[in-house]
């Protein structure tokens, strides 16, 4: 039977199907198809020089072959070797009838040759369970990256991602030839790397919410939420990444985004007592005092450990979004400012960044900063600038002579939504993989001089919203990042992306299956839904299956033909393939909301600037004048009872679970006098689904004092009509 299957496979595969250059992501620089093929049999060996043993073992994880230490692979084998005439990350891959030869300029190049070879094999290799033989078309590939820095930034502070999760993420980055993982280890919500000289930073600051001086934020308020990497675990991550040519760049975000640190070590804060009445005595400050010598001593202790732990030459010290107003209230920062004739908060920030940078340089490393850190014009040119705010911010950094990592948020922040009604932020832009692919330095206006200082391209995932999606069936991190990382890979490796249709063809024809085999629950584009002449149709451009559900009915159906209906808004569609799925989409009527006259009252006094009438008008935000206490309520009374299919009362920002009732419940009243409790708040929102009668009033009640902030955002109700 086995023999029969073997010959059947040989026969089928001798017609050479895979291995067209057009199906590889990122696209190799040169690909030449030759006639003939090579068959990888169970007897084929992975031959390698002694130093390449780890990479031979790596390949053998995917291709179940024996490895063989020798410099000449002989016939019938896959030979890995280093050819120092090639660039460090360059490689050649030659498939002939006699065997496969991968030569790299260094281990990195060999690794990329292996990755390209894997893409020439059936997608199932990525499951590590594919069965031989495989036929590979004869070809010659000559390839090297355009940018030597091809990065991704992962925020593990807002949402904790454990060591295994990070390794999994690195593994898939490496399959896409991304070679830097910038790991955002600290922020206002958590400190994630063990510092042996200051164990409290993780033992206390690695957690937030219940039992921690750090307030809960973004979800899971009822938990002592968090985690951290021990230095030992981080060493394992670094080693795991290094084999895959991924360098780990640590970031400690300073001097702002340090609320967490300040809760653990209040002594780092400025010398004044803030007004904490509105926040129930909770200190919300987030910036380190610039004038305290003890702060520099403390940070030197932190960075000396990090410099030893991380082999990367880069250490990121933050510098973004600093609330410099805190320094205005500090007599010591003001005295320092005066003594150095500084005119602004930006100059004080650069004083801080320069002192820290000098220390980082003394450790033999390069300090990296977010682009705001050069606003005052005094930062050392030793710094590497990460341009996130805009293309202009990136260009300015290059013009001023800084090595610059280009990552403007409206192209490269993969925590942004991929279309208007999908999850994610929208403050930078709403965009999908096609926009990422279109990024082109020249089209963005970079001059050739500016381009000389572009050190690389990076994308990022800030994880404020991830925590509230951890229970989703689809992995939110993977949904937000793939296939956008595929586009990043193409842009960073090739220098710019090509036509979307051609690239998307490669995705659909070959790479979808690879990503599924890699275990990536990637995002599929939304189906297109149309309604005309009483008929509802749904289509996808990527040949995936479409499913639908009907509002108010149980179950899901496979869409196989247009649907005749006079109620198109009741149908909700999505597409799915393995673990990959699209968001839900319906005709516009499904999203229509009602705006009945409503009066909002509360046990909490309203903000003078943003009164409750803002939310009554359904257009603007309202805010309370203080944070919430256990027992506080917000009441929505409708002028006329409201008939609807669903009513939601949200609190907090629209797409960011902050400034809300962390815990509480929702009550409904059909007569305006008697209330019944109908559910708990989830992420600050109460929901009434399929109410039995017309609703006269709704009340949300808070059951937890404080939300880590100074106020609560009060929002208009979302009311959906019966369909
Ligand atoms: C950033 O997004 N604040 C770097
Ligand atoms: Zn100060």
Indicate whether 390 and 509 sit together in one domain.
Answer: yes
Q: Which residue puts its alpha carbon closest to atom 3 of ligand 1?
A: 320
Indicate whether 644 and 553 sit together in one domain.
Answer: no
Q: What is the pLDDT of residue 74?
A: 67
Residue 356 CB contacts under 8 Å (≥ 6 apart), including other chains: 254, 296, 299, 303, 317, 367
- 718 sits in which H/E element: strand 718-720
CA of 269 to the centre of ligand 1 (A): 22
Indicate whether 96 and 197 sit together in one domain.
Answer: no
Residue 346 counted as domain residue: yes
CATH at residue 28? 3.30.379.10
Inter-residue long-range contacts of 44-47, CB under 8 Å, 24+ positions, other chains counted: 44/76, 44/77, 44/78, 44/132, 45/73, 45/76, 45/77, 45/78, 46/77, 46/78, 46/80, 47/72, 47/73, 47/74, 47/77, 47/78, 47/79, 47/80
Indicate whether 213 and 284 sit together in one domain.
Answer: yes
Q: For the chain, how many structural domains are there in total?
A: 4
- Which atom of ligand 1 is nearest to 386's Cα? 4
CB of 410 closer than 6 angstroms to any ligand 1 atom: no
Q: Domain containing 670: what range?
A: 598-720
Q: Minimal CA–CA distance to 109: which of 50, 179, 39?
A: 179
CATH at residue 636? 2.60.120.260
CA of 269 to the centre of ligand 2 (A): 7
CA of 330 to the centre of ligand 2 (A): 5
Q: Which residue puts its alpha carbon closest to atom 4 of ligand 1?
A: 320
Alpha-carbon distance of 179 to 168, in angstroms, equals 15
CA of 320 to the centre of ligand 1 (A): 6
Measured from the alpha carbon of residue 329, the closest ligand is 2
Determine phi and psi for 82, rounding to 5 degrees.
-100, 135
pLDDT tens track for 391-443: 999 999 999 999 999 999 999 999 999 999 999 999 999 999 999 999 999 99
Q: What is the pLDDT of residue 307?
A: 98
CB of 388 closer than 6 angstroms to any ligand 1 atom: yes
Alpha-carbon distance of 111 to 175, in angstroms, equals 10
Residue 126 counted as domain residue: yes
Indicate whether 173 and 134 sit together in one domain.
Answer: no
Show the DSSP H helices in 582-640 as ranges: 613-616
* Contact between residue 305 and residue 195 where contact means Cβ atoms under 8 Å apart: yes
User: Dmax over Cα atoms in the chain, in whole Å?
Assistant: 88
Q: What is the pLDDT of residue 73?
A: 63
Alpha-carbon distance of 86 to 649, in angstroms, equals 62
289 SS3 class: coil
Q: What is the pLDDT of residue 655?
A: 87
Inter-residue long-range contacts of 542-550, CB under 8 Å, 24+ positions, other chains counted: 542/504, 542/507, 542/508, 542/512, 542/575, 543/508, 544/575, 544/576, 544/577, 544/580, 544/582, 545/575, 545/576, 545/577, 546/573, 546/574, 546/575, 547/573, 547/574, 547/575, 547/576, 548/572, 548/573, 548/574
Q: Minimal CA–CA distance to 177: which of 104, 227, 86?
A: 104
Q: What is the pLDDT of residue 10?
A: 47
Three-class SS of 122-133: CHHHHHCCCCCC
Among the candidates 493, 518, 543, a domain finishes at 518
CA of 377 to the centre of ligand 1 (A): 19
Indicate whether 541 and 430 sit together in one domain.
Answer: no
Residue 308 counted as domain residue: yes
First to last CA, the chain: 58
Among the candidates 465, 488, 518, a domain finishes at 518
Residue 523 counted as domain residue: no
CA of 460 to the centre of ligand 1 (A): 9
Indicate whether 546 and 485 sit together in one domain.
Answer: no
- Which atom of ligand 1 is nearest to 370's Cα? 4
Among the candidates 591, 608, 642, a domain finishes at 591
Q: What is the pLDDT of residue 16?
A: 52
pLDDT tens track for 372-394: 999 999 999 999 999 999 999 99
CATH at residue 259? 3.20.20.80
CA of 208 to the centre of ligand 2 (A): 25
Indicate whether 533 and 422 sit together in one domain.
Answer: no
- Report residues of the chain scoring pLDDT below 70: 1-22, 71-74
Q: How far is CA 678 from CA 169, 498, 664, in A?
A: 40, 53, 11
Indicate whether 18 and 129 sit together in one domain.
Answer: yes
Indicate whether 49 and 163 sit together in one domain.
Answer: no
191 SS3 class: strand
Indicate whether 631 and 690 sit together in one domain.
Answer: yes
Measured from the alpha carbon of residue 410, the closest ligand is 1
Q: Which residue puts its alpha carbon closest to atom 1 of ligand 1?
A: 320
CA of 256 to the centre of ligand 2 (A): 12
- Which atom of ligand 1 is nearest to 321's Cα? 3
CB of 370 closer than 6 angstroms to any ligand 1 atom: yes
CA of 653 to the centre of ligand 1 (A): 18
Alpha-carbon distance of 234 to 193, in angstroms, equals 8
Residue 1 counted as domain residue: no
Q: Minimal CA–CA distance to 249: which of 193, 324, 339, 182?
A: 182
Determine phi and psi for 74, rounding to 5 degrees.
70, -175
Tokens 């499904």 appear where? 590
- Which atom of ligand 1 is nearest to 462's Cα? 2
Alpha-carbon distance of 384 to 394, in angstroms, equals 11
Q: Which residue puts its alpha carbon closest to atom 2 of ligand 1?
A: 388
CB of 321 closer than 6 angstroms to any ligand 1 atom: yes
Alpha-carbon distance of 445 to 127, in angstroms, equals 43
- Which atom of ligand 1 is nearest to 320's Cα? 3
- Which atom of ligand 1 is nearest to 460's Cα? 2
CATH at residue 544? 2.60.40
* Contact between residue 182 and residue 194 where contact means Cβ atoms under 8 Å apart: no
Q: What is the pLDDT of residue 11?
A: 47
**Beta-strand pair 180-184/134-143:** unpaired
Mutate which of 255, 320, 405 for ligand 1? The one with the most ligand atoms within 8 Å of its CB, which is 320
Three-class SS of 5-18: HHHHHHHHHCCCCC
Rounded to the nearest angstrom, the gap between the alpha carbon of residue 667 and the centroid of all alpha carbons in its chain is 36
Tokens 């106020």 appear where? 711
Mutate which of 153, 369, 388, 405 for ligand 1? The one with the most ligand atoms within 8 Å of its CB, which is 388
Q: Which two tokens stand for residue 385?
A: 């600038």
Q: What is the pLDDT of residue 13?
A: 47
Residue 548 counted as domain residue: yes
Residue 6 counted as domain residue: no
Measured from the alpha carbon of residue 371, the closest ligand is 1
Indicate whether 364 and 507 sit together in one domain.
Answer: yes
pTM of the model: 0.96
Measured from the alpha carbon of residue 351, the closest ligand is 2
CB of 142 closer than 6 angstroms to any ligand 1 atom: no
Measured from the alpha carbon of residue 464, the closest ligand is 1
CA angle 604–605–610, rounded 5-degree value: 115
CA of 281 to the centre of ligand 2 (A): 20
Residue 569 counted as domain residue: yes
Mutate which of 158, 371, 462, 656 for ligand 1? The one with the most ligand atoms within 8 Å of its CB, which is 462
Q: Which two tokens stand for residue 24?
A: 């590889």
Measured from the alpha carbon of residue 269, the closest ligand is 2
Count CB atoms within 10 A of the CB of residue 54. 13
């Amino acid at each position: 039977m086995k023999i029969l299957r073997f010959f059947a496979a040989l026969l089928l595969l001798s017609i050479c199907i895979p291995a067209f250059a057009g199906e590889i992501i990122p696209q190799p620089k040169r690909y030449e198809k030759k006639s003939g093929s090579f068959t990888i049999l169970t007897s084929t060996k992975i031959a390698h020089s002694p130093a390449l043993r780890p990479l031979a073992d790596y390949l053998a994880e995917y291709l179940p072959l024996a490895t063989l230490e020798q410099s000449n692979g002989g016939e019938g084998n896959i030979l890995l070797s280093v050819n120092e005439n090639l660039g460090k990350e360059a490689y050649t891959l030659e498939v002939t009838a006699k065997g496969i030869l991968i030569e790299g300029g260094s281990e990195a190049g060999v690794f990329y040759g292996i990755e390209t070879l894997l893409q020439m094999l059936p997608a199932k290799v990525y499951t590590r369970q594919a069965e031989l033989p495989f036929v590979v078309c004869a070809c010659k590939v000559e390839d090297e990256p355009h940018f030597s820095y091809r990065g991704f930034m992962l925020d593990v502070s807002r949402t904790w991602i454990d060591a295994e999760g990070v390794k999994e993420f690195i593994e898939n980055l490496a399959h896409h030839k991304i070679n830097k993982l910038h790991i955002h280890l600290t922020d206002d919500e958590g400190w994630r790397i063990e510092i042996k000289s200051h164990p409290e930073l993780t033992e206390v600051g690695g957690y937030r919410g219940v039992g921690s001086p750090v307030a809960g934020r973004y979800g899971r308020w009822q938990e002592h939420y968090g985690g951290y990497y021990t230095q030992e675990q981080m060493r394992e991550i670094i080693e795991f990444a290094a084999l895959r040519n991924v360098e780990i760049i640590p970031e400690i975000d300073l001097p702002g985004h340090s609320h967490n640190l300040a809760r653990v070590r209040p002594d780092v804060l400025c010398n004044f007592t803030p007004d904490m009445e509105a926040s129930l005595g909770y200190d919300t400050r987030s910036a380190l005092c610039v004038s305290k010598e003890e702060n520099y001593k403390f940070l030197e202790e932190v960075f000396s450990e990090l410099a030893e732990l991380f082999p990367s030459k880069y250490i990121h010290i933050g510098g973004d979004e600093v609330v410099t107003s805190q320094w205005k209230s500090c007599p010591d920062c003001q005295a320092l400012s005066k003594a150095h004739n500084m005119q602004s908060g930006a100059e004080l920030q650069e004083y801080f960044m320069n002192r820290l940078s000098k220390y980082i340089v003394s450790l033999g490393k390069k300090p990296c900063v977010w682009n705001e850190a050069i606003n005052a014009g005094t930062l050392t040119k030793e710094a590497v600038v990460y341009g996130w705010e805009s293309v202009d911010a990136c260009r300015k950094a290059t013009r001023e002579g800084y090595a610059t990592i280009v990552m403007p948020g409206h192209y490269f922040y993969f925590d942004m939504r991929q279309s208007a009604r999908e999850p994610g932020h929208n403050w930078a832009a709403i965009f999908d993989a096609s926009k990422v692919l279109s990024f082109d330095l020249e089209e963005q206006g970079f001059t050739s001089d500016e381009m000389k200082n572009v050190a690389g391209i990076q994308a990022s995932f800030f994880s404020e919203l991830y925590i509230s999606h951890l229970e989703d069936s689809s992995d939110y991190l993977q949904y937000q990042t793939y296939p956008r990382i595929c586009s990043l890979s193409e842009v960073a490796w090739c220098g710019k992306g090509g036509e979307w249709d051609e690239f998307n063809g490669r995705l659909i024809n070959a790479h979808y299956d690879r990503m599924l085999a890699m275990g990536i629950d990637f995002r599929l584009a939304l189906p297109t839904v149309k309604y005309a002449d009483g008929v509802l149709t749904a289509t996808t451009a990527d040949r995936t299956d479409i499913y639908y559900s009907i509002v108010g009915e149980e179950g899901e159906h496979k869409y196989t033909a247009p649907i005749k209906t006079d109620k198109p808004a009741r149908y909700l569609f999505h597409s799915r393939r393995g673990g990959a799925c699209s968001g839900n989409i319906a005709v516009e009527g499904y999203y229509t909301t009602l705006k009945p006259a409503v009066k909002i009252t509360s046990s909490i006094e309203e903000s003078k600037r943003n009164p409750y009438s803002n939310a009554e008008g359904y257009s603007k935000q309202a805010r309370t004048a203080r944070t919430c206490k256990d027992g506080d309520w917000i009441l929505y009374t409708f002028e006329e009872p409201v008939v609807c299919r669903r009513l939601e009362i949200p609190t907090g920002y629209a797409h960011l679970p902050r400034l809300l009732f962390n815990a509480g419940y929702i009550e409904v009243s059909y007569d305006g006098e008697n209330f019944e409790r109908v559910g708990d708040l989830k992420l600050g929102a109460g929901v009434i689904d399929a109410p039995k009668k017309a609703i006269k009033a709704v009340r949300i009640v808070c059951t937890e004092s404080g939300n880590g902030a100074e106020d609560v955002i009060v929002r208009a109700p979302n009311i959906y009509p019966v369909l």
